[in-house]
Amino acid sequence: MKNRKDYQSIEFNFEGGVDGMSEKMLTDHLALYDGYVKKSNEIQTKTDQADKSSANQSYSEFGELKRQETFSVNGMKLHELYFSQIDGDGEPKGIFKEMIEKDFGSVEEWKAEMVATGVASRGWAVCAYDFKDDRLHIYGQDAHNIGAVWGCAPLVALDVYEHAYFIDYGKTRGEYIEAFFKNLNWDFVSKMIEKWGIDKMHRGSE
């Protein structure tokens, strides 16, 4: 790959604390994120050097690099979204709220599907804008690279891997999910929607 630059970890600062998420849990979680950034760089560097002529779907060095690249790169991107949006006050507002009301009826109905997806999934519950039908969807993922749907812009990423909550909550995943929504930064999501022009595309801006 030409012109590739190493990914750099974003420095997230949770000095003011996150309500319902301990410093220990966040610090350990950020270390995992940093690992995904480093592994993404390592994998893409090794891809350049790997023997492509021996690529094989059962086993090959090249095949394993391609298999793990999606895990690491999606792990990096989803965590960047997650950590960028847990510094808010959880108050539904802005264009994101308007889009939810149009596509789900109410914030309560949207949240109920998000929570159920978070409980039912093994990796992530992602609210994404899907360019196929120009509306919001909630997709469940069983790993960083299992369940992602192409042609979408992820807007809210709820991490439900055990590493995201076991330190503080043990097996009570539902309480952790409530803490996530209590801190969700709705302004951040609306800014992404406007930056990408999604508000103009939303069901043809009817």
Binding residues for Mn(2+): 79, 159, 163
Of 13, 16, 63, give the one whose Cα is nearest residue 43: 63
Nearest-angstrom CA–CA distance, 93 and 120: 27
Comparing CB distances to Fe ion, the nearer of 9 and 60 is 9
How many angstroms from the chain centroid is the CA of residue 130?
15
Of 110, 201, 82, give the one whose Cα is nearest residue 151: 201
Considering the complex, what minimum distance in angstroms separates the CB of residue 5 from Fe ion?
Answer: 24
Nearest-angstrom CA–CA distance, 154 and 167: 26
Quickly tell me which residue has 């989803």 as its tokens: 78
Comparing CB distances to Fe ion, the nearer of 103 and 159 is 159
Task: Return the range that interacts with Fe ion (CB under 5 A); candidates 18-26, 53-61, 160-168, 175-183.
Answer: 160-168
Comparing CB distances to Fe ion, the nearer of 50 and 78 is 78
Residue 129 class from Cβ within 10 Å (0-12 exposed, 13-18 middle, 19+ buried)? Answer: buried
User: For the window 106-145, what string marks contact with Fe ion as x by the rule CB under 5 A?
Assistant: ----------------------------------------
| Of positions 20, 127, 159, 180, contacts Fe ion by CB under 5 A | 159
Task: Return the range that interacts with Fe ion (CB under 5 A); candidates 44-52, 58-66, 125-133, 161-169.
Answer: 161-169
Considering the complex, what minimum distance in angstroms separates the CB of residue 133 from Fe ion?
Answer: 29
Residue nearest to Fe ion (CB): 159
Nearest-angstrom CA–CA distance, 117 and 202: 23
Q: 139: part of which helix (H) or strand (E)?
A: strand 135-141
Half-sphere exposure of 110 (CA within 13 A, CB side): 21
Comparing CB distances to Fe ion, the nearer of 75 and 155 is 75
Comparing CB distances to Fe ion, the nearer of 7 and 161 is 161
Residue 80 binds Fe ion, judged by CB under 5 A: no
Q: Which residues bind Fe ion (CB under 5 A)?
A: 159, 161, 164
